[in-house]
Amino acid sequence: MAAVVTKLTADDIRKGVELFWSTFMAKSEEELNSFYALGSTVFQIAMSRSEPGRLGAMRRSREYFKPDTRMELKLSAIDVVLCGDEAGVASYTFRFQATGRDLGGGKRAEEKLETVRATHVLHRDESGKLRIAHEHFSVPVASEAR
């Protein structure tokens, strides 16, 4: 007997984004990695090119998931555009702060980002789980004074 799959809703996409961030804040490397679909791509804030999603997840784990690293996150409202029955695009902003971010080579840093723009393209895979197909984070550039 085939499983009945309901259409993906905007609320499903919002909950997926919230689960992604709660997983990140819980410092769960394996779970974070599982959010990214095979072949997914990410643009991180300071990168000039995309990289594979799971590689980006591994990088974040190395930088932020040390026991003494502290993080704070505040999400804005999450806007969603559905793309058919199985995919959607979430766009939102967030505020992020971290102390003890591992830069490698024994260097640690503090990070404070007042406004980060985020876009997640999520789709439901064959098992029914939401996966990130593409992620893009950026910070707004201040307007020049006139």
| Domains contained in the chain, CATH given | 10-138 (3.10.450.50)
Asked if residues 67 and 92 have their Cβ atoms less than 8 Å apart, the reply is: no
CA pair distance 136, 44, nearest whole angstrom: 6
pLDDT per residue as tens digits for the range 11-61:
999 999 999 999 999 999 999 999 999 999 999 888 889 999 999 999 999
pLDDT per residue as tens digits for the range 63-73:
999 999 999 99
Helices and strands in the chain: count of H runs, count of E runs: 3, 7
